[in-house]
Structure 1
């Protein structure tokens, strides 16, 4: 698949939680490009198509063969029959001009990709993920994935897979379907590693690339001092305390919590890329610096010794 090892997650380009200007969105992509980032991930879900439109505009003048582009299927955007003054209820600061309709059928996949290409202004998409099908396993297995396999065999797509927050469901799909790549969000991080139980060993065995997203666990690991957001909600006290202990170990080794949070998932042999979102050009710069930071092996050894990291976690090379 040759997925670059660092990607830009583009949910924020869809006004996730708060609005940004078109100029800021373009500057985020420009900064990512200047820092060597060549993988961009988006979805119709992000801002009811706004992320795709902004990303496509920002990449319009870039050589198409120089970057990898992924989007997602499973949520069709249909006109909102309600009040035109409504705002999107799913966390994006945009007018609710459309509503999302789950559709994991073959026809739904084809319609979704056609609409995404139009919004992106692109001639092709490299990777298509089935988005959040944890409650629609059978529909995805019989509808969405066979349609994507067909497109891959026709050369329309380079790779196909699934993206969600549930490592056990992703493992089921890897066992039962012919996929190239999976995106796991928030389940293989410095704070917790449940994907080590089954998903990551299975992907390594079957040659399925893994993209690690949500490595800051939606905020708790995103700053030197642990935040209080986890899984898009208020973080439980026990997790804040655990993150605080991890941060203290990091500080002893002169490493920031976010630097360690980026380094750990990248070290697993099945992980091809770490995708980081950004709400400003400065955050892109900060994330790129974090991704290149050197983390001493003694830090990981201390985390394991203090029961803050699973002993079976593959560690960055310096630790070996």
Structure 2
């Protein structure tokens, strides 16, 4: 990671250090396509070799598969003392016919505790570092009535070290930051070279309140990793306009000898509220590529050019 883009989100309320680069484990839970057990093990081993110490997961990632794999494979991979975040608000409920599980919303204190207990069992841990309330977009009343107080009690009891919200939409996430004591938030897909939505309210508010920010979805579901015709953009086939924008961004980066993924991974660090970036990986090769992208020096002149064409908000530049 270049010195010019090293994380500056040091003034947060977190009581522990959050590594600047994290591994998102939705792919290890089978997002878009299944990942073989050996590939999952190799992915985590590559993360250890790259010095990645933060792992983000959730019960919904493969109906517990991502958590289960972290619990079984992290130590053999050579990862020591990892920082782990998981999520709650949704329960895995066994089907009556024994054919698997269904994911159901449960924002009651009983449901929150049951979710965490199951996560800890799969992870093989007595606590997690961060517990996010996961996608509570349509459950604001339940959050107010029970869920937020429940995760605070879990933090007080030492079962989690920090609490927050993980979402894909900035406006409701900003409302939660404004209305509750929040240690950290995870915003996915809304602070990237192609999407600056988080700049409007969320990031300034987090900076003001000392709330740490973790950014996910920096590739907007793949487009900024490889802007090809078949790319995905925010979990859907890419529209022509966004494909053209991504390719233009790639052209500008190429003028400076910088691969587009490197600019995409490092862009969020330009904001002082951002503490960490989480990148989903499904193979050892992807881990190596993304870790390399995070370390690649990026000249200030590139950020200036990207700002000239609207890919970087100019107020983020020195």
TM-score (norm 2): 0.91
Query: What stretches of structure 2 of length at least 5 have no aligned partner?
Result: 1-13
Q: Does 1:49 align with 2:52?
A: no
Distance between the aligned counterparts of 1:18 and 1:61, measured in 2? 24
Is 1:17–2:24 an aligned residue pair?
no
Displaced runs of 4 or more, over 6 A:
62-65
The 1:288/1:224 distance shift into structure 2, 3 A limit, reads: farther
Give, in angstroms, the shift of residue 268 of structure 1.
1.3
Q: Distance in 1 between matches of 2:184 and 2:295?
A: 24
Counterpart of 1:233 (choices 226, 236, 246) is 236
Aligned to 2:131: 128
Q: Is the Cα–Cα contact under 8 Å of residues 41 and 77 in structure 2 kept in the other structure?
A: no
Q: 1:218 to 1:77 in 2, by over 3 A?
A: same
Contact 1:225–1:247 under 8 Å retained in 2: no
RMSD of aligned C-alpha atoms? 1.7
CA distance in 2, matches of 1:307, 1:170: 24
Could you tell me how far apart the structure 2 residues matched to 1:62 and 1:281 are?
A: 12
Superposed displacement of residue 154, structure 1: 2.3
1:287 to 279, 286, 290: 290
Tell me the SS of whatever aligns to 1:222.
coil
Pairing partner for 1:167 from 167, 170, 180: 170
1:197 maps to 200
- Establish whether residue 78 from structure 1 lines up as the match of residue 81 from structure 2: no
Contact 1:104-1:140 at 8 Å conserved across structures: yes
Gaps of 5+ in 1: 85-96
SS at 1:46 equivalent: coil
- Check whether the contact 1:259–1:290 (CA below 8 A) recurs between aligned residues: yes
1:177-220 deviations in whole A, cap 9, x for unaligned? 11100000000001111100000000000000000000000011
Output the CA distance in 2 between the equivalents of 1:245 and 1:62. Answer: 39
CA distance in 2, matches of 1:226, 1:304: 25
104 and 8 in structure 1: CA distance in 2 versus 1, 3 angstrom threshold: same
User: What secondary structure sits across from 1:273 in the alignment?
Assistant: strand
Q: Determine whether 1:27 maps to 2:30.
A: no
Check the 8 A contact 2:227/2:246 in 1, yes or no.
no
For residue 9 of structure 1, report the CA deviation from its aligned partner.
Answer: 0.4
1:213 to 212, 216, 220: 216
Give the match's secondary structure for 1:218: coil
Contact residue 152 and residue 163 of structure 2 kept, 8 A: yes
